[in-house]
Amino acid sequence: MMVNTTQGEMDESLLEKKTGVIDNDIEHTEWIEYYLSGELVHRSAHITLKEPAVALSALGGF
């Protein structure tokens, strides 16, 4: 598989791959990094938002 990097398209087999996951009440995030000779040349992230922005209404009394 070819990977887009800071040095152009590179074959994945030439790169060191790291992945990670963050999962909490706010988000589920999966990230992937590729390194070439220890240098970060690609990083992508897929974030699924979980926590909505909510406004709670209240009625005033007379």
Binding site for another protein (CB under 8 A): 4-6, 22, 26-27, 29, 31-33, 40-57
Q: Which is nearer to another protein, 48 or 61 (CB)?
A: 48
Neighbours of 31 (CB within 10 A): 14
Residues sharing a CB contact under 8 Å with residue 50, sequence separation 6 or more, in sequence order? 25, 26, 27, 28
Residues sharing a CB contact under 8 Å with residue 62, sequence separation 6 or more, in sequence order? none
Q: Which is nearer to another protein, 56 or 61 (CB)?
A: 56
Q: How far is the CB of 32 from another protein (least distance, A)?
A: 8
Q: How far is the CB of 41 from another protein (least distance, A)?
A: 7
